[in-house]
Amino acid sequence: MDIFLTEKHQIVRHSVRAFAQREIIPIAKEIDEEQRFPWEVVEKMAALGYLGVQAPKELGGAGMDTVSYTLIIEELSNASAALGLCASVHNSVALYPLLAFGNREQHERFVPDLASGKKIGAFCLTEPNAGSDASSIEATAILDGDHYIVNANKVFVTNGGIAETCLIFVRTDPAAGSRGISVIVAEKGTPGFVVGENENLSGMRANPVSSIRLSECRIPKENLLAKEGMGLKIGLAGLDTGRIGIAAQAVGIAQASLDEGIKYAKERIQFKVPIANHQSIQNMIADMGTKVEAARLMVYRAALLKDMGKPFSKEAAMAKLMASETACQVADMAVQIHGGYGYSKSYPVERYYRDARVTRIYEGTSEVHRIVIARNLLS
């Protein structure tokens, strides 16, 4: 794959890989089992620019391109999918919408702390009765003088347990249907802002996914992102970018699964030879490697289109669909290669299997992505 990357991209990949091997891999199993967010590592990620990858340097970011972003997320996720998820969501659906739709004052007020990693961001769209159907949100924001009175119950918020700057999707005009949805930036510590308990999830356990509730929360009207009624446009733009990040995350999980499958196949002896000598294992490894490379190419294509300023919504959806399905398939095959040991927490493929599964759900389910892709192809 090196032939598709510039020298700068290769340097980025190698540096992130070295960081992940040094700082993340030694604690990956521990933080998963303890369901612990490793601030000591995240602070080092922030210092290296991983939490402000595409934010401009003048606002405290690293000023990198989208391809570099995908490389960073892939390598972090290869070591710990939960930390890759933190960086992906923070960069793509929290920071990016602020950069793309915020005004100068909002850039100066919110972006530097997020880009430097001083604060963590979150994207608060999902509710108990609104998931894939984003237009069904019930959260409200009623203008009262210079403030909005916000009431919201957001669930499954990635980074929710540690986020301080949250993009809250609300209805500012309940009678306007989907055109009445807006985005308001809410900050932790505002009276009425309550963080719920972390979810006890199957995978991504080192990421503090939680609910966030706002009750009669008074938020300055200056915190409205763009204009009233632009919520869905902002959300879709953020999700297009976020899908590239989650696709890169899925590739990272798939690559880790492939690597472990190959390693174990060479070590495990059955019928007096390494199981890698058996045709059935070789077939699985061949399929795994092919799927990983294909998914990675699709992620690179979507990232390149974004960097070129061309439409990339269809390609991002394709990359996310392909990569997430691949991650699940490859992790499953890695477990199968390990046999009974693959079902034991003593081996990392068990964690990869759990982490991979959710990539087909968040940032848009595989079913929703097929709808997006079909509509693009049929239009």
One pLDDT digit (tens) per residue for the chain, 379 residues: 567 799 999 999 999 999 999 999 999 999 999 999 999 999 999 999 999 999 999 999 999 999 999 999 999 999 999 999 999 999 999 999 999 999 999 999 999 999 999 999 999 999 999 988 888 999 999 999 999 999 999 999 999 999 999 999 999 998 898 899 999 999 999 999 999 999 999 999 999 999 999 999 999 999 999 999 999 999 999 999 999 999 999 999 999 999 999 999 999 999 999 999 999 999 999 999 999 999 999 999 999 999 999 999 999 999 999 999 999 999 999 999 999 999 999 999 999 999 999 999 999 999 999 999 999 999 9
In the three-class reduction of DSSP (H, G, I as helix; E, B as strand; rest coil), residue 43 is classed as helix
The topology under which CATH files domain 232-378 is: Butyryl-CoA Dehydrogenase, subunit A; domain 3 (1.20.140)
Predicted pLDDT at 1: 55
Tell if the pTM clears 0.85, that is, is over it.
Answer: yes
Cα 59 from Cα 74, distance rounded (Å): 25
Answer yes or no: are the C-beta atoms of 137 and 170 closer than 8 Å.
yes
Question: Could you confirm whether domain 2-115 is CATH 3.90.1300.10?
Answer: no
Quote the CATH superfamily of domain 121-229. Answer: Butyryl-CoA Dehydrogenase, subunit A, domain 2 (2.40.110.10)
Q: Which residue has the tokens 């733009």?
A: 237
**Nearest in space to 37 (alpha carbons), one of 26, 47, 27, 51:** 27
Cα 379 from Cα 376, distance rounded (Å): 5
Write the Ramachandran bin of 125: left for phi over 0, alpha for psi from -120 to 50, otherwise beta.
Answer: alpha
Task: Return contacts of 24-30, CB within 8 angstroms, 24+ apart.
Answer: 24/76, 24/79, 24/80, 24/83, 25/79, 25/80, 28/79, 28/80, 28/206, 28/348, 28/351, 29/345, 29/348, 29/351
Q: Where in the chain do CATH 2.40.110.10 domains reside?
A: 121-229
Q: Is 363 a known active-site residue?
A: yes
Q: Where in the chain do CATH 1.20.140.10 domains reside?
A: 232-378
Answer yes or no: are the C-beta atoms of 185 and 134 closer than 8 Å.
no
Give Cα separations from 331 to 70, 202, 246, 298, 348 (angstroms): 20, 15, 16, 19, 10
Predicted pLDDT at 2: 65
Residue type, position 10, single letter: Q
Q: Where in the chain do CATH 1.10.540.10 domains reside?
A: 2-115
Of the residues 23, 74, 315, 363, only one is catalytic, namely: 363
Cα 61 from Cα 49, distance rounded (Å): 6
What are 193's strand-pairing partners?
214
Predicted pLDDT at 177: 87
